[in-house]
Structure 1
Amino acid sequence: MTVGIACVRGLPRALCAPLLAGLLALAGCGGGDRVSTYVPQRLIVFGDESSVIAGGNLTDVNGGTITALAGAKYSVNAQAVDATGAPTGALDCNTYPLWIQVLGSQYGMGFAQCNTFSEAVPRGKIYAQVGAGITELQAQVIQARTDVGGFVSTDLATVLVGQKDILDAYAQYPAQSADAVVALAEAAGGVLGTQVNALAQSGARVLVATVPNLGATPFGIAQNLVSAERAALLTRITDRFNAGMRAALINDGRLIGLVQADEQLQLLINNPSAYGYVSVSTAACTTLSAISCTGPTAGTTSVPATPGTLVTGATALNYLWADDRHFGVNGHASLGTLAVTRATNNPF
């Protein structure tokens, strides 16, 4: 196992010990159907901006330009510093990894946008796009299949998508009833499940994550200022989207692994102090979007610390949310841990 790599590449220290302990324990549990350890040779990433690392300015699915530094993510970003500890104006993409980077580190794989292991040709490939939903997912898969010449069983694909589809359904309320928009979301989840099945049946092994509860995000909580039922409605829409996806999935464990991000989020919200959180309901970043959010630098005896773009009292690690709907650093670490556990346990 190579999970130690993830810990030295920027995972929060507090999560390294439980991650190592948990995965070592799981490694010692022999599954009856397991004949060998699954070791992917490529990591192919699909979905929305929660799986995007910028190579520079980004283009969203509508063709709009998003200003971003190389290595920027929709989370809290780490400022690069020089030998004296002074910020260089660039970002350190290896510190504060996204969930897909945590997973890639398990197998020594990086991405062109953040080549953690200095591979001549990075074995991780990101097709995820800012603002993508289930419609864009289909196009991403088609493009990836063309690029790699078809999928094989040593291709590990990740899918995290659905936030756009949930918000699209929610936007129909109150012109449509609560039950109607919930039904729209559940149907969209079913489409996603069918797409994931097709991806798995085409040769890849797939980790698909459920969508974290949008009713519990800062965005969802703020919707209650519009009317008191709205956060609860967003929760219900998210639940039924995930239920629709789960119901459609091939559930034999050999092709698809389910990463239960929704359940993990609820665990973090229910036990914030156990995970070092000061806030699980507000955004850490002062910037409108996390793509331009930076954490502080530590400073040295000769160079003062810099604050980054966080609210007073926030650090890179003690807020669950970076902006109003995207995970911060520890959220990604938790999701990445789940993905590693699923990848190393499923009888792929």
Structure 2
Amino acid sequence: MPRLKRAVLGVAMVAALTACGGDVHDRFRPSRILSVGDEYSYIDPATGAKYSVNRARSDGSYNCDEYLLWNQIVAADYGIRFEQCTPPDRNPDTRGQVLAQPGALAADIQAQVDNFGGFRDGDLILVQVGANDVWELFQRGVNGESWTALAEEARTRGRDLGTRIDEWTRRGARILVLDVINQGSTPEAGAVAQTVSNARTRLRELTSEFNKGLRQRVADVANRRIAFLRANDRVQVAVDDDQYNFDNRSAAGCTVSPATDCTQHTLRPDFDPNPNRREYIFSADRYLTPAMNHILGDVAVGLIDDFPF
């Protein structure tokens, strides 16, 4: 699997502020990988459907081993496959578990872990959550609540998420946490902006406040067991700049919604879902294409490979 140049890791803020430069350390080898959060990390355990582009077989079933999500790329780097994506001819790998659920808020990740039976020392927990918080708060603003108060609530939710994952590390877990992708840049935001004034700006501001709270809390605890990846920066670079040279940076590449229904057969004519092709950033609604997932996954792998957990 190709790896992005190490230079891109400069945008990833490492939370281990106490780590000494030049320290020699053995690479952390997790006994299990648990992926918590929302749709960005979800794999349907019954169908293998993902909120991206799905590879459909000739019989209509999904091959979730193709068009990987970012968390699958991280797990594969450790030789782990998520049990929720077990091919028909393979035995389940119980070391990898997708606990993420559609619609989940930041406050829900504790229940995801608890319902699974908890974690143990040596687990690596992948965390990407907060987009649904942003959209919930946005809808409350549209319904008349104070945008100033909602921005503060977004920041508090991000800070609370940082506190939660810090508590997990004190019980033996290691954490890779991604911040929230700017929801104001998504095709879903563009659709809402047709009827709601300043929708993109409001969503961007709420995203920023959530991320600010999370980032500040992670920095405050200075925990060597938390690696922080600015996923939003990577996506915004793709949207705003020519570094990745995506052909289409704002529209959805899928012609259907939700993204779990999107396959290689339901794409715009100019969209090749091959992860190595840079054509569309977004699949459907607010979700990412295989190419953008591939970028995030490679950056995440590079970060944790070098991280002194």
Both structures adopt the same fold (TM-score exceeding 0.5)? yes
More contact order relative to length (CA 8 Å, sep ≥ 6): 2
Q: Is the 8 A contact 2:107 2:161 kept in 1?
A: no
Q: Hey, what does 2:39 align to over in structure 1?
A: 49
Q: Hey, what does 2:285 align to over in structure 1?
A: 324
Q: 1:335 to 1:251 in 2, by over 3 A?
A: farther
Q: 1:252 to 1:119 in 2, by over 3 A?
A: farther
Q: Matches of residues 143-162 of structure 1 in structure 2 within 5 Å?
A: 143-144=115-116, 146=117, 150-152=119-121, 154-162=122-130
Q: Is the 8 A contact 2:55 2:64 kept in 1?
A: yes
Q: Matches of residues 204-283 of structure 1 in structure 2 within 5 Å?
A: 204-249=173-218, 251-252=221-222, 254-272=224-242, 274-283=243-252
3-state secondary structure, aligned to 1:45: strand
* Partner Cα distance (2:223, 2:24) in 1: 11
Aligned partner of 1:182 among 136, 140, 151: 151
Q: Is the 8 A contact 1:115 1:122 kept in 2?
A: no
Q: Hey, what does 1:90 align to over in structure 2?
A: 61
Displacement of 1:160 after TM fit? Answer: 0.4
Displacement of 1:216 after TM fit? Answer: 0.5
Describe the superposition over 1:79-132 as per-residue Cα deviations: whole angstroms up to 9, x where unpaired. 22xxxxxx2322221111011110011010001121379565431011111110
Q: Hey, what does 1:168 align to over in structure 2?
A: 136
Gaps of 5+ in 2: 11-19
Q: Is the 8 A contact 1:141 1:199 kept in 2?
A: no
Q: Is the 8 A contact 1:162 1:211 kept in 2?
A: yes
Larger Rg: 1
Q: Is the 8 A contact 2:259 2:287 kept in 1?
A: yes
Q: 1:199 to 1:115 in 2, by over 3 A?
A: same
RMSD: 2.2
Displacement of 1:251 after TM fit? Answer: 4.8
Matched letter for residue 70 of structure 2 = W
Equivalent pairs counted in the alignment come to: 292
Q: Hey, what does 1:140 align to over in structure 2?
A: 112
After superposing the two structures, state which structure 1 stretch, 33-42 or 109-118, moved more: 109-118
Aligned partner of 1:76 among 28, 31, 53: 53
Q: Hey, what does 1:309 align to over in structure 2?
A: 266
Q: Is the 8 A contact 2:246 2:280 kept in 1?
A: yes
Matched, 1:124 2:92: no
Q: Is the 8 A contact 1:253 1:347 kept in 2?
A: no
Gaps of 5+ in 1: 1-6, 8-15, 57-69, 81-86, 296-307
Matched letter for residue 201 of structure 1 = R
Matched letter for residue 46 of structure 1 = V
Describe the superposition over 1:155-186 as per-residue Cα deviations: whole angstroms up to 9, x where unpaired. 11001011111111111114123222211211
3-state secondary structure, aligned to 2:61: strand
* Partner Cα distance (1:291, 1:101) in 2: 16
Q: Hey, what does 1:334 align to over in structure 2?
A: 295
Matched letter for residue 278 of structure 1 = D
3-state secondary structure, aligned to 1:275: coil
* Partner Cα distance (1:325, 1:120) in 2: 30
Q: Is the 8 A contact 2:227 2:304 kept in 1?
A: yes
Name the % identity. 32
Matched letter for residue 6 of structure 2 = G
* Partner Cα distance (1:130, 1:176) in 2: 25
* Partner Cα distance (1:109, 1:332) in 2: 18
Q: Hey, what does 1:60 align to over in structure 2?
A: none
* Partner Cα distance (2:92, 2:192) in 1: 47
Matched, 1:291 2:260: yes
* Partner Cα distance (1:289, 1:179) in 2: 31
Matched letter for residue 313 of structure 1 = D
After superposing the two structures, state which structure 1 stretch, 235-244 or 332-341, moved more: 332-341
* Partner Cα distance (1:36, 1:255) in 2: 14
Q: Is the 8 A contact 1:151 1:204 kept in 2?
A: yes
* Partner Cα distance (2:198, 2:186) in 1: 15
